[in-house]
Amino acid sequence: MKIIFLKNTGQLLAKLLEQEHSLQSDLWLMDLSPLTLHPEDTSSTNQSLNWGDGVRCSLLTEQALCKLHLPQKFHSWWTMELLVNVRKWIEENKAAFLPPVCNKLMHRHQLNVMFVGGPNERKDYHIEEGEELFYQVKGDMCLKIIENGKQKDIFIREGEMFLLPARIPHSPQRYTDTVGLVIERERLKTEIDGLRYYVEESTNVLFEKWFHCEDLGTQLTPIIQEFFNSRQYKTGKPNPDELLKETPFPLNSACVMEPFSFQGWLKDHRREIKQKQSLSIFGDNFETEVIAYGPGTTEKSKSNSDIWIWQLVLLEKRRRMCCSLHCSGSKTQAALYLVSVPVDIDEKNFNLLMSS
């Protein structure tokens, strides 16, 4: 994996691409295999960064836009926008945040990154074999789940984070003028998802469909419409002939965590992060890695997986900082080096790394 980065006052802008699929968010990395890129440290006022071999990355604005320019010999790549202003992107795609699903994929590859709007109060429960990371950007939401055979409501407030374990039926309820970030991994070809409706307030299955998920935003809508047109919907009674005798995989019986304030977690663990340079947010009990990095240099080895990095700084203080990312390694293993150097000792500077 090879990495490029951009930086300006108070912000680090970067991207990651794997197999010609782009990531778009506040901070990403980019895979430009077979190139190995070593950007020079430039001031925040520079308008372009050069890596040699004709590869150049130029700033369009100081907000969140840049373009990658590649020479003709790299014909498999093209000039494209790498970074977007997230708020502007949400506004431009607000028509996509419509019932019954209300989500829009920003990136789809090994990690699926989406934003979800509202209002959207649903009766269906989704089941998948991977985990889901929730972070509420604006407003609150309620995530209804089936925990140990009982219905339970998980309220995720603005600024709170929650990691849903795999194989737990869940139904997100979203309200007007809210926005949430949801990240999940790509499904394996052998994995399937399930969509279920339950009889009234019970956990007895009324209707279910199982399918291999490639694009949840487009695949759920016809299944939901099929349910609305079904006899089960009209009568409220299941058809035993259409229900599986046994689910494709056992459902998870674990008890879920409580959502928590992400900024509060950083504040409580600030000293530990500073001492250790990095700290896992959810521990080793999940397949999803979510790690907070403090000032310093960290080496992280990964292979064949997307890595999402979100740079967190106190922008209101308008302090300059220097943060760089670079990567080296072979096709089988890559070493990620994350360097974060605050301008002064009081700068509160963290990096959040998530991969699966």
Residues in the annotated binding site for substrate = 132, 174, 184
Beta bridge partners of 160: 261
| Tokens coding 210 | 């199982």
Distance, in Å, from the CA atom of 256 to the CA atom of 230, rounded to the nearest integer, reads 33
Residue owning tokens 């209707």: 207
Known binding-site residue numbers for O2 = 122
Distance, in Å, from the CA atom of 15 to the CA atom of 27, rounded to the nearest integer, reads 6
- The three state secondary structure string of the chain is CCCEEEEECCEEEEECEECCEECCCCCCCCCCCCCCCCCCCCCCCCCEEEEECCEEEEECCCCCCEEEECCCCCCCCCCEEEECCHHHHHHHCHHHCCCCCCEEEEEECCEEEEEECCCECCCCEEECCCCEEEEEEECCEEEEEEECCEEEEEEECCCEEEEECCCCCEEEEECCCCEEEEEEECCCCCCCEEEEEECCCCCCEEEEEEECCCCHHHHHHHHHHHHHCCHHHHHCCCCHHHCCCCCCCCCCCCCCCCCEEHHHHHHHCHHHHHHHCEEECCCCCCCCEEEEECCEEEEEEECCCCEEEEEECCHHHCCCCEEEEEEEECCCCEEEEEEEECCCCCCCCEEEEEEC
Known binding-site residue numbers for Fe cation = 126, 132, 170
Known binding-site residue numbers = 122, 126, 132, 170, 174, 184
Distance, in Å, from the CA atom of 87 to the CA atom of 92, rounded to the nearest integer, reads 9
